[in-house]
Structure formats: C-alpha cells, structure tokens
Structure 1
C-alpha cells in the first residue's frame, strides 16, 4: 500500500474512521531526522497491507500537529479504533516502529 498524505480534510475518513491501524508520520521538508525515517516509513507501507500509513506535513497541517501535541519531529503516532495507541519521537529503527503497531 502506498503512503497517504493526511490533511485535516481527509483525517476523519482516512484515520479516525479507519478499520485498520494507522501509522502517522509527522514530518517537515527541512527536518534532517525526518528524511532518515521517511524511507523506513515507505518500506513499512509497502510491506504491510494490514495497516494504513500516512504522512502529515507539520508546516502545512499545523492544526493537526497541534491536535496531537507534536513538539518535535519526526513524531510517529499509531491510531487504532480512532484512538492514539502509541507515540514515539525521533529517529527509530524499522523494528522499533513495527513494535509500536503491536
């Protein structure tokens, strides 16, 4: 599955009301650590059809970033049944990101 661009306009449909767990990557184009995590997120999206993966550009979606109290990026948030299940901040290994989904 490909990575979705999540905005406040599609958040409810793609994330809140999703029947699958959702992994959200809060990032920005100027963020070095975000660039390190991005290929890992893309890989997870390709390899795991049972989860939905979305990216939220914090510069364009500051309201969503605020809703999730994102202070540092990259911030990864796992949402299950419309509720936050797990959160982590900073560069993570693929293995650690996959553990967040458990």
Structure 2
C-alpha cells in the first residue's frame, strides 16, 4: 500500500470516527430543551447523513480508480516486459548513484 492510499485510509477512518462521535453526541443530548436546539439538531443530523453519503461515494471512486490503475499497470507490464525491465534498471542505477553520491 503506498503513502497516498495510507493517508486516504487514515482520513476516511478519522472522518468516520467524527461522524460516529457526532451521532453519539446527538443521541446523548436529547435531554436538552428548546426549539432552537431541536432545529439545530435536525440540521446537524441532515448534514451528518449527507457527509456519510459523500464519504461512501468518495471511497467508492477511489477504490475504483486504484483498481483501474492497477489493471492498466499490469497490462502495460505484460505487454512491454522489456521496456518495464529497462525502466526498472534505469531507476535502480539512478538510485544507486544517488546513494553513492550522498555517502561522500
């Protein structure tokens, strides 16, 4: 799993936790009185529902994009094995040169 995917997973976990905490806060605040509170509570509940829906849509899009990218990469590697090996060797040489240079 690359760094971007790790950050995405971490962000989604944190957002889901925020949504859970907000829902729990709403449930535990039922004793509060006043029309203004109930109106604000209703708006917050609607916002939470929308946020949950959007998070699931984003998550589905990201998963779909990652899968498509992986399939495209796999197809390219299978169609161009020598190019891929050459590119990998070139990157390896560059990394080796950078490591050797930084050791001086």
Query: TM-score when scaled to structure 2?
Result: 0.24
Higher strand share: 1
Query: TM-score when scaled to structure 1?
Result: 0.25
Higher helix share: 2
